[in-house]
A and B are shown apart, each in its own frame.
Chain A
Amino acid sequence: MWDYSETVQEHFFNPRNAGAVENANATGDVGSLSCGDALRLTLKIDKKNEVIIRAGFQTFGCGSAIASSSALTEIIKGMTIDNALKVSNQDIADYLDGLPPEKMHCSVMGREALHAAIANYRGEVWQDDHEEGALVCKCFAIDEVLIEETIRENALKTVEDVSNFTKAGGGCSSCHEGIENILARVMAENGEKFDPNAVAGEIVKPTSGLTNIQRMKRIDALIDEIRPNLQRDHGDVELLEVDGKNIYVKMTGACSGCHMATTTLGGIQQHLAEGLGEFIQVLPAEALVQRTSSGAQ
């Protein structure tokens, strides 16, 4: 079964604000019955200052759908609707101390219900462009629809291309067969044939043109940017050494010895490469020890 955080379980077993709000002046219905998740959010909004006084939910769905609905109502109570619109699905997931990748869509559903309810209050029609496909890459939670669209829009031809554009397949690599199948299907639309030996397209990146000091500072800043993601999982990362294209880091806290450490390093590498606009390699602390002891430069 799923690895739900304590907070998710707590909100599932003791949901807050369950049921419809009486005399609600905003209602948002979202979800998909085929997927087994649907949510009705009702709000009582003070017309004078547009503050959400009460929020209630009714949810047909699994444990994390109910927990996400409960968290959403707790987050937005007392907010002005302008501030509430700034609540992201990541905020909902963070409030619950994280959700499994397969369940992130529950937090998306929460945010969408909120937008639908506020549109309803304002007398607008809320249109959703949401389309969700089967989860393909479990490391980065990328679904089939996103991969398909990205392949189509960018005329991608290889698994490596897909990883570069969407991150899908950039982790444990077990979804590569699935990505190849999607590539074959989308390429067939244009009468093309997927070639497993094709070489990935060049990604045009700006050259960094930074001085050494600027570059180090930039690396430090980029690591600071992703630090909150690691800390959310009770881990952390420390910059040890920069040696040309090799950047050595030490994983600490829960990240040290985690079986996902390689995936995490991959994620850090991608973030640094994108931020620096050059090809770099992120290596674990152990590699630095090896380098030092072998005397190699």
Chain B
Amino acid sequence: MTTGIYLDNNATTMVAPEVVEEMLPFFSEQFGNPSSLHQFGNKVGRRLKKARKQIQVLLGAEHDSEIIFTSCGTESDSTAILSALKAQPDRRTIITTIVEHPAVLSLCEYLEKDDYIVHYLKVDKKGRLDMQEYISLLSDEVAIVSIMWANNESGTLFPIEEMAELSRSAGVIFHTDAVQAVGKLPMNLKENSVDMLSLSGHKLHAPKGIGVLYLRRGVRFRPLLRGGHQERGRRAGTENSASIVALGKACEMAQENMWHEKSEVKAMRDRLEHGIIEAVSHCFVTGDPNNRLPNTCNIAFEYIEGEAILLLLNKLGIAASSGSACTSGSLEPSHVMRAMDIPFTAAHGSVRFSFSRYNTMEEVEKVIRAVPPIVAQLRKLSPYWDGNGPVEDSEKVFSPNYA
């Protein structure tokens, strides 16, 4: 294991050592094409079947044939949305949210150029949706609703089961991007009304380059990639067998550790959050603290900028991420922070700490000790800060020329 404290598990996770061990033979002796009849392929085919079962169990899906392997979460999202449009050419409207991942947002913006209508549901200051607005938009013109289960930046959860139910009553296909939620929250897809769900291997200790689209039996579907008969013709292309086997193992381990997420991981997150809030003035938790992923905490540090915080944390071997414009090279802070109406002076200073079951309480204590001096050091440089607090009437005292 590498040294350093890794608190950026919503970005990606370490591949579990057991998972690596499980997948290695599929690069060497188990190299066969699972579609082949001979023994080389046949053995691999049987292992893919097992992996499909393991994923089915974690999702609580009714049939293993509802699992379609893809290359990543983004591919699953694109497949789901484009399939719904292709299968129902008369329906040209999409409902999604303003805080989705770019995998959905960029595609929707692109579809708008082809005259599709996209409704972006807004969120309140805690990142919550207005269910009345959602209900009012459901109609027989809507091809698909695509809503994330958990927000990658704030960890805020959306009421997916309720929204899927409403969507089904209105006769609309419901898709959820659940890449942040799978493995962290128990799921039982056979009992709810979700029609399609995206998951991504590398968010739950499997490798990068493997994803799944869950497709409920009976939902009309049009493939994105056509070609061979792999995945029953729903996603052509020779199977990434090593990664599929790895994802199966990772899902099995996630299932076994589900209790750990709710208890131990959540305890570490809560300790970090309380520790920092107690020690640092003028900072606050973003999103909906009472309804979020157990592993995620997003704190906005006012009057300083996130990239600078990350660089100083990184110097101490602590990895986190930020919603500041500078970390992404864009001109605006994160669209999620802006959607929640967080002021610029705080949005740029938002830092996300995201845990996994491989973190320890000892690491948490180290981070709690590291953060306050870093914040103090940067505030000392900030034109909005004076000694022990923000300058009074900061907007009048410092109003730069082209704000």
Q: Which residues of A contact B (CB under 8 A)?
A: 1, 9, 12-13, 15, 18-19, 29-40, 57-66, 102-103, 112, 116, 126, 128, 130-135
Contacts and interface: CB of A to CB of B under 8 A. Distances in A.
B311 A38 contact: no
A62 B383 contact: no
Q: Which 4 A-B pairs have the closest CB atoms?
A: A62-B326, A62-B307, A36-B348, A58-B383
Interface stretch (B12-20, B149-157, B327-335): B327-335
Contacts of B329: 102, 135
B168 to A, nearest CB: 37
Interface in B362-403: 380-384, 398-403
Contacts of A38: 383, 398, 400, 403
Contacts, number: 108
Dominant secondary structure at the A interface: mixed
Interface string B297-308: 000000111111
B345 A32 contact: no
B324 interface: yes
Nearest to A109: B400
A15 B381 contact: yes
B400 A33 contact: yes
Contact of A66 (B308, B324, B348): B308
15 contacts: A1-B310, A29-B383, A29-B399, A34-B325, A34-B333, A35-B325, A36-B305, A38-B398, A60-B348, A60-B383, A62-B308, A62-B327, A102-B329, A128-B401, A130-B402
A58 B381 contact: yes
Given A35-B325, A37-B326, A12 B308 contact: yes
Of the listed residues B308, B310, B325, B403, the one surrounded by the most CB atoms of chain A closer than 10 A to its CB is B308
Nearest to A63: B311
B377 to A, nearest CB: 10
B352 to A, nearest CB: 15
Interface residues of B, number: 34
A29 B314 CA distance: 30
Contacts of B381: 15, 18-19, 57-59, 66
Nearest to A31: B400
B315 interface: yes
A39 B324 CA distance: 17
Given A13-B315, A37-B326, A61 B399 contact: no
A130 B312 CA distance: 31
Contacts of B400: 29-33, 38-40
Of the listed residues B305, B315, B327, the one surrounded by the most CB atoms of chain A closer than 10 A to its CB is B305
B305 A61 contact: yes
Contacts of A39: 383, 400
B314 to A, nearest CB: 8
Contacts of A57: 381
Contacts of A29: 383, 398-401
B344 A40 contact: no
A65 B382 CA distance: 12
Contacts of B315: 13
Contact of A60 (B303, B325, B327, B401): B303
Nearest to B321: A1
A60 B305 contact: yes
Contacts of A130: 402
A12 B402 CA distance: 24
Interface string B313-349: 0110000000011110111110000000000110010
Contacts of A63: 307-308, 311, 326
Contacts of A62: 305-308, 324, 326-327
A29 B401 CA distance: 6
A133 B304 CA distance: 23
Contact of B344 (A9, A33, A58, A134): A33
A66 B382 CA distance: 10
A252 B326 CA distance: 33
B401 A30 contact: yes
A103 B329 CA distance: 8
Nearest to A36: B348
Nearest to A112: B401
A235 to B, nearest CB: 24
Interface string B184-207: 000000000000000000000000
Given A19-B380, A39-B400, A33 B345 contact: yes
A296 to B, nearest CB: 43
A34 B343 CA distance: 9
A126 B402 CA distance: 11
A197 to B, nearest CB: 19
Contacts of B398: 29, 38, 40
Given A35-B325, A36-B325, A128 B303 contact: no
B311 A36 contact: no
Interface in B269-306: 303-306
Given A31-B402, A60-B303, A133-B331, A36 B380 contact: no
